Amino acid sequence: MNFSYNSGFKIQNLSLKIEENSIYALTGNNGSGKTTLLRLLVGLLKPESGFIKIFNEPLTRNKKELWEIRQKIGFLFQNPDDQLFAPTIEEDIGFGARNLKLDEKEVKKRVLWALQAVNLIEFKDYSPFNLSWGQKKRAALAGLLVLKPKLLILDEPFANLDFNAIYNHLKIIENLKREENMTILFTTHNLFFVENWAKKMLVLDNGKSLYEGEPKEGLNDTQVLELLGSYDKIREIIKND
């Protein structure tokens, strides 16, 4: 698949296949194209050549078909301010489920469950804009969980979260994954999650694939390590002598 922005940035010859019911990590430096690739996958951007298939269906620009496929996908934006818009957290979390025309009783049940799961019940009547970053991210995740998507796409799900929130998020996602046979695609700069959570990873270098395969093997690859850098390099400039 190929894609380019007017700015000149290009996604080049990229091909990836995500196994159903698995966990796939996308990593690479800032500006390497991770978010762009996710936008292509959910149909927010259109490839110039090549194609995308989701659940064995080609992703078309036909509105009706795109809508049907999008119903099975939960997409967590990198920036929660791009995702939250309703007057209250409770309404925001229920929005997607109402859009799917789920029964109102079912929506209420799921919203309550999701509010409890992400620990935001006491904030349910708050405006999303008055929450902290981590709370916004949790609210955005809750809005996806109520949809019980088949494919959960998470753009930097753990960035700026405290360890307890990360633990909580992972627990919820893992539970849902088991119950709903969910497939997960996430981007991160945190190699702990690449190594320990993902079954497969793709490393992007300026819009091109540098490595695709087993995380453990990839994280020992000298080219990958050179590209991504490490705390060792950082330690060199902060060492106290």
Ligand X SMILES: Nc1ncnc2c1ncn2[C@@H]1O[C@H](COP(=O)(O)OP(=O)(O)OP(=O)(O)O)[C@@H](O)[C@H]1O
**Residue ranges in contact with ligand X by CB under 6 A:** 5-7, 9, 28, 30-36, 78
- The closest residue (CB) to Mg ion is 35
Q: Which does 31 bind (CB under 5 to 8 A by kind): Mg ion, ligand X, none?
A: ligand X
By beta-carbon proximity to ligand X, the closer residue of 35 and 119 is 35
Q: What is the C-alpha separation between 95 and 157, in angstroms, rounded?
A: 20
Q: Which does 32 bind (CB under 5 to 8 A by kind): Mg ion, ligand X, none?
A: ligand X
The nearest distance, CB 28 to Mg ion, in angstroms, is 9
Query: Using alpha carbons only, what angle is made at residue 75 by residues 69 and 81, rounded to the nearest 5 degrees?
Result: 140
The single residue among 21, 22, 35, 168 that binds Mg ion, judged by CB under 5 A, is: 35
Which 69-98 residues touch Mg ion, going by CB under 5 A? 78
Of 1-9, 30-38, 170-178, 188-196, which part binds Mg ion (CB under 5 A)? 30-38
The nearest distance, CB 57 to ligand X, in angstroms, is 24
The nearest distance, CB 34 to Mg ion, in angstroms, is 5
The nearest distance, CB 140 to Mg ion, in angstroms, is 15
The nearest distance, CB 235 to Mg ion, in angstroms, is 26
The nearest distance, CB 233 to ligand X, in angstroms, is 18
By beta-carbon proximity to ligand X, the closer residue of 30 and 222 is 30
Q: Which does 9 bind (CB under 5 to 8 A by kind): Mg ion, ligand X, none?
A: ligand X
Q: Which does 43 bind (CB under 5 to 8 A by kind): Mg ion, ligand X, none?
A: none
DSSP the chain: -BEE-TTS-EE-S------TT-EEEEEESTTSSHHHHHHHHTTSS--SBS--EETTEE--S-HHHHHHHHTTEEEE-SSGGGT--SSSHHHHHHHHHHHTT--HHHHHHHHHHHHHHTT-GGGTTS-GGGS-HHHHHHHHHHHHHTT--SEEEEESTTTT--HHHHHHHHHHHHHHHHHHT-EEEEE-S-HHHHHHT-SEEEEEETTEEEEEE-HHHHTT-HHHHHHH--HHHHHHHH---
- Given the rule CB under 5 A, which residues bind Mg ion? 34-35, 78
